[in-house]
Amino acid sequence: MTVAYPFFYHLPQLTTLRTRLRKVEDADRLDLISLSLERQSSFLSDEQIVRTKQESNEYVDYLLNCYKKGRPAPWGIFAKESNRLIGVCGYVKWLPKEGAAEIGYQLDPIYWKRGLMTEVVQEVIDFSFNQLGLCRIDAKCLANNFASIKLLHKVGMIKQEQKPSYVWSKGHYEMVEFYSIGKDKFRSENGV
């Protein structure tokens, strides 16, 4: 049985300096295709990559269904200057008994190396601690995704010492690293 969480029925809109985060809608279907052509994702497996119009439609249907049923799902990331969907970021695991959640993200390669995802992840972490009252935020990424590792360090996450974990990606198994930040550390680093 899948548990519904009221928060996910009505994801609020969030904003950063250069982006707006909101629920993905029907009108966003075609923008999703470009997100995965050369992806470097922290949480999507090969089976979750959107490559075609059909897959884009299926992914939007999946997100809309998650919103409708109160299940964890990401926000769409929209560039303020174009109002175009350029990525997704949000919760991939919701652990209310632990006061924690795991976040994941993906950004259109055209927008890499501009600090946009750092901005977005920082906002999602801030919202998680200060509005939702969570105590810990987790994330994971491929061990060889140095850009994602750098991003997680920038937002204050610390690599967790755990046994090696692997995911099937690009036709072989790749090692995954786990990161985490607690509310107190986040607040002390951000002067809150």
Checking if the pLDDT of 100 tops 90, the result is yes
Tell me the per-residue pLDDT of 43-98, one tens digit each, with 9 for 90 and over.
444 544 555 667 777 888 889 999 999 888 899 999 999 888 999 999 989 898 99
Torsion of CA 17, 19, 20, 22, to 10 degrees: -140
| Whole-prediction pTM | 0.85
Side chain identity, residue 1: M
Checking if the pLDDT of 172 tops 60, the result is yes
Q: Tell me, what's the pLDDT at 162?
A: 66
Domains in the chain, please, with CATH? 6-135 (3.40.630.30)
In sequence order, what are the beta bridge partners of 176?
142, 165
